[in-house]
Amino acid sequence: MRIECVVPARALVGEGPIWDDRGRVVWWVDIKAPALHRYEPATGATKSWPMPSRLGTVALRERGGLVGAFKDGFALIDPDSGAITPLADPEAHLPGNRFNDGGVDAAGRFWAGTMDDGEKDPTGHLYRLDPDGSVTGFEAAIAITNGLDWSLDGRTFYVADTPGGMILAYDFDMATGRPGARRLFARVPDAAGHPDGLVVDEEDHVWGAHWGGARLTRYRPDGSIERVVAMPAPQVTSACFGGADLDVLYVTTAAIGLDAAALAACPDAGGLFAVTGLGIRGRPSRRFAG
């Protein structure tokens, strides 16, 4: 196994990596120094687009471009022109909230969770953006809603409750796009940091990032730990599988809040990392059908 910082971006809160199998690039965001970033592994080229407000997550669109979940709601992003087209702001009545992490289900619907921007109150909920532009909300009552992905059969929806130290598993009806009963999938002890983003691999295992834990944990479908991968950055935020064979794990990290000593010890904090040699493949990134 090899871990390499491929983009030493020193992002405040690097998040939400996705692999674009058509463009052969990794897209990711910096939430708090709001920007959209792109990395091309074949050449090492990078490009960034400043964003008008905090951008929690993005997803690929079937029609090209991206869809994003911003501080002020859902919007389409056209990197070619730089245009941002607002779609809906389901929490305009909650100015203390913002969108955080998200993902696309097997039916092409874009999901994103909200959070209390003060990171204290359980005001975060889940929202589903359908291809026709309609938005449906689901109560979650989580202070920081994080890490959205689905099991291979689509019947389990994983969501991380970061302050609660838990990864939750919802029963999920893919036909109707509705989460049902939820249960505890895994608990992260305080000594291991806090659960952040997550991704499901081709063996139906869940890779969870640990904010403050300097690691990724691979969980079996029953929630038991299969392995832990130590990372050279304390605030690990999310991951995705990419590369031609979907066998490279791209990992985002954050530099926010780290003092000079911590940054000296972990100079690549806030960078985008590539983990190779795992012997494990992921799934292609799903695209929003809208």
Q: Give me the active site residues, please.
A: 196
| 3-state DSSP of 266-280 | CCCCCCEEEEECCCC
Residue 71, Cβ density class (10 Å: 0-12 exposed, 13-18 middle, ≥19 buried): buried
Structure-token pair, residue 54:
């905090």
Return the residue matching tokens 């403050």: 212
Alpha-carbon distances, residue 190 vs 16, 164, 165, 198 (angstroms): 23, 10, 7, 18
Residue 136, Cβ density class (10 Å: 0-12 exposed, 13-18 middle, ≥19 buried): middle
Amino acid identity of residue 258, one-letter, is: L
Residue 223, Cβ density class (10 Å: 0-12 exposed, 13-18 middle, ≥19 buried): middle
